A = this chain, B = another copy of it.
Amino acid sequence: MNARASLYQARYGSADTPQPAAGSTIIDHLLAHRSVRAYLPDPVSDDSLAAIIAAAQSAASSSNLHAWSVVAVRDPVRKARLAEFAGNQEHIVEAPLLLVWLADLARLESVARRVGESHDALDYLEMFEVGVIDAALAAQNAVAAAESLGLGTVYIGGMRNRPLDVAAELALPPRVVAVFGLCVGTPDPDKPASVKPRPPRPVVLHQEQYSLEAQQPGLLEYDTAMSEFYAAQGMKVRGTWSNHSAKRVRDAASLSGRDQLVEALHRLGFPLK
């Protein structure tokens, strides 16, 4: 099996997803992504961070508004508090750098004030969504960039568990909120991360129109692929991917506090009209 075939095999596991003929070293790099949760203590330099942020800034931004920011947190005490807010995730403590990606409408308010315009559009859900999208596009470029420098990353959705505490910790002004965190550091070679399989392509890719029915065979294949992945990793996981995912969306209590997100956003200056 050649190197590219191995990448596709790891990416889709045992699911039947034919490998395309088209390819590139960039795509190979993206295919090899894995989330890293064990880090060496080596710091991430400001110089490396500058290259990572340049890549992040190179992502598109809606209407060229740049409705995002990112806070680089290295202070161990602050990082420990943020780890606690995110549900005591030990890898946030261990990673030398935590990037907190923000939907940022405060900058646009400051620009509007400076040029003497009103800024009523910032009160709408649409502009919150623009901030979330801008932050996510930038962050994903940052992930590809960090990995190309030999670093590992993992996203931290738990940064939305306690948004008011996170905002206070990072001194966020009104109209700024954390979208997610991203741990960055040198992967611990003694605890290598694995490529986690994805569902077969037809689960996510639709032709001309959406189809829920067309996804069902692929979802069953994915349950098998994930069970084989857990077994190969020596992880004793009960139930299928379908079981776990259903539990994750069962009720408000499954949301780790994020069922209060609307209330928190209102208090952080997002009326969400």
What residues make up the interface of A, taking CB atoms closer than 8 Å to B?
A: 8, 11-12, 17-18, 20-27, 29-33, 35, 45, 47-60, 62-66, 68-75, 78, 102, 105-112, 114-115, 117-122, 124-127, 129-130, 132-133, 136-141, 143-145, 147-149, 154-155, 157, 160, 169-173, 176, 179-180, 196, 198-199, 201, 203-212, 215-216, 219, 240-252, 254-255, 258-259, 261-262, 265, 272-273
Contact = CB atoms under 8 A, between A and B. Distances in A.
A87 B75 CA distance: 47
Contacts of A241: 64
A18 B54 CA distance: 10
Contacts of A132: 129, 132-133, 136
- Oligomer: number of copies: 2
Contacts of A172: 210
Contacts of A145: 24, 26-27, 30
A80 to B, nearest CB: 13
Contacts of A210: 69, 71, 102, 170-173, 176
19 contacts: A22-B45, A22-B48, A22-B50, A26-B55, A58-B198, A66-B203, A69-B205, A70-B204, A71-B210, A105-B249, A110-B212, A115-B246, A121-B250, A122-B249, A125-B272, A126-B255, A137-B140, A140-B140, A170-B206
A78 B243 CA distance: 37
Contact of A23 (B24, B51, B203, B273): B51
Contacts of A114: 242
B30 A144 contact: yes
Contact of A248 (B63, B125, B180, B206): B63
Given A66-B199, A121-B254, A127-B255, 16 more contacts: A22-B48, A26-B26, A27-B54, A59-B140, A64-B196, A71-B206, A102-B210, A107-B203, A108-B245, A110-B216, A115-B240, A115-B246, A118-B250, A129-B179, A141-B144, A172-B210
Contact of A112 (B55, B121, B249): B249
B70 A55 contact: no
Nearest to A199: B66
Contacts of A52: 27
Contacts of A141: 30, 140, 144
